[in-house]
Structure 1
Amino acid sequence: MSGIEHNTVPDPAAAAFELRKTVVMVGMMGAGKTAVGRALAARLGVPFLDSDAEIESAANMSIPEIFARDGEKFFRRKESQVIGRLLNEARGVLSTGGGAFLSAENRKMISERGASVWLNADLDVLWNRVRHKDTRPLLRTADPRATLSGLFEARVPFYSQADLTVVSDGDAAIEEMVDRVIAALLTRPDVLRRI
């Protein structure tokens, strides 16, 4: 099974845009990378790709199971391989795991072959979105909110190196977020242009 979703129903307005590079969604867990990325792909009429889903499919295990069995270092190596492969496939929208953009190798690869969009959500928004989920291996700690806060502080300097930044606040509906991402992408005609 591939991480590309071919059953995405294209938006009738998709014909109005030409995607020239893969858009790579980066940011913290809970920022909305998958939900916004999937809706953006539908709006643009392009494939949606998810590096975490692709890794899970290839390993036939969940991300928490991979972390538990093989460790984070192994997972990060596989993640880089998968991102590289997905960037070479059809242009589309690629959602990455929260730690993917911390790797200099991944940032370079994404910059050369795609365009990164940081969904920048504040800590309270992120906590409200992830606190009831048990699918986040890095938050399986005695104080998950403090852990999330530490990850946030450590990762923001990396995310801020993304090609484009779009604010992801708690009140914005997914379609509004897609509008914001498209507006940001249109400032980069090498990535997206109206036709």
Structure 2
Amino acid sequence: MSTPGTGLVVLVGPPSSGKTTVGTALAQRLGVVFRDTDHDVEAEAGTTIADLFVTQGEPHFRALEERAVARALAEHTGVLALGGGAVLSAHTRALLVDLVAEGVTVVWLDVDLPSAAQRVGLSRDRPILGINPRQMLRQMLETRAPLYTEVSTLHVRTGGRTVEDVVADVLAGVGQESAP
């Protein structure tokens, strides 16, 4: 794996935590490129993640996701958002821990259950949430929190906050509070 550029900031967190929205705004503020591994998976598969879950199943999607994350971590030097479940892979967690040791910032965008449920609504583009989104979100937030903690160097809460406030916290955490 090549050494990422000093500008790499990796965003992790559950679905609806704001990784894409915050990541896009953060990249703009830092003057770097934003990349989302969910989009990488969709481009490689030629279909949506929701359709991948239905037609190929979650294990197939997770394998594609693991490869997409490894590739992006090796190549990308801007702001990188990982899919909410990327941390389920031990291989991905090991890559992130190694990058943290090299000085890369991994930001856990954390969201509370009421905010997550409001943001997700009954969206069908989040297949992992299944039939009872609120219960699935609760379980997901509880079971994945230790994994996000394991890989992150900065913890920022997003629930009930503006994108600008969240970006300001991330910028402060990466030592860029005065970014243009």
The question of a shared fold, defined as TM-score above 0.5 by the shorter chain, is answered with yes
Q: Is the 8 A contact 2:168 2:177 kept in 1?
A: no
Aligned with residue 119 of structure 1, among 93, 109, 112: 109
Q: Is the 8 A contact 2:116 2:159 kept in 1?
A: no
SS of equivalent to 1:166: strand
Cα pair distance change 1:90/1:152, threshold 3 Å: closer
Partner of 1:30: 16
Tell me the alpha carbon deviations over residues 97-151 of structure 1, each in whole angstroms, 9 at most, x when there is no partner. 110012221111123234310011111111110014221101122x221111111
Aligned with residue 180 of structure 1, among 158, 169, 178: 169
Partner of 2:142: 153
Question: For 1:50 and 1:81, how far apart are their aligned partners in 2?
Answer: 13
Question: For 1:173 and 1:194, how far apart are their aligned partners in 2?
Answer: 18
1:68 aligns with 2:54: yes
Question: For 2:84 and 2:16, how far apart are their aligned partners in 1?
Answer: 9
After TM superposition, the runs of 4+ consecutive aligned structure 1 residues lying more than 6 A away are: 192-195
Compare 109-118 and 86-95 and name the one that shifted more: 109-118
Alignment-mate amino acid for residue 135 of structure 1: D
Question: For 1:181 and 1:94, how far apart are their aligned partners in 2?
Answer: 13
Question: For 1:118 and 1:90, how far apart are their aligned partners in 2?
Answer: 18
Partner of 1:166: 156
Partner of 1:135: 125
Alignment-mate amino acid for residue 104 of structure 1: A
1:109 aligns with 2:107: no
Alignment-mate amino acid for residue 116 of structure 1: V
Question: For 1:123 and 1:178, how far apart are their aligned partners in 2?
Answer: 21
Same amino acid, percent of matched pairs: 39
Q: Is the 8 A contact 2:50 2:124 kept in 1?
A: no
Tell me the TM-score normalized by structure 1: 0.81
Tell me the TM-score normalized by structure 2: 0.87
The alignment yields a C-alpha RMSD, in angstroms, of 1.8
Partner of 2:42: 56
Q: Is the 8 A contact 1:23 1:116 kept in 2?
A: yes
Alignment-mate amino acid for residue 20 of structure 1: T
Aligned with residue 87 of structure 1, among 65, 73, 77: 73
1:78 aligns with 2:68: no
SS of equivalent to 1:151: helix
Cα pair distance change 1:29/1:60, threshold 3 Å: same
SS of equivalent to 2:106: strand
Question: For 1:108 and 1:128, how far apart are their aligned partners in 2?
Answer: 32
Question: For 1:177 and 1:144, how far apart are their aligned partners in 2?
Answer: 25
SS of equivalent to 1:117: strand
Tell me the alpha carbon deviations over residues 21-63 of structure 1, each in whole angstroms, 9 at most, x when there is no partner. 4211111100000000010011101110000011101111000
Q: Is the 8 A contact 1:22 1:92 kept in 2?
A: yes
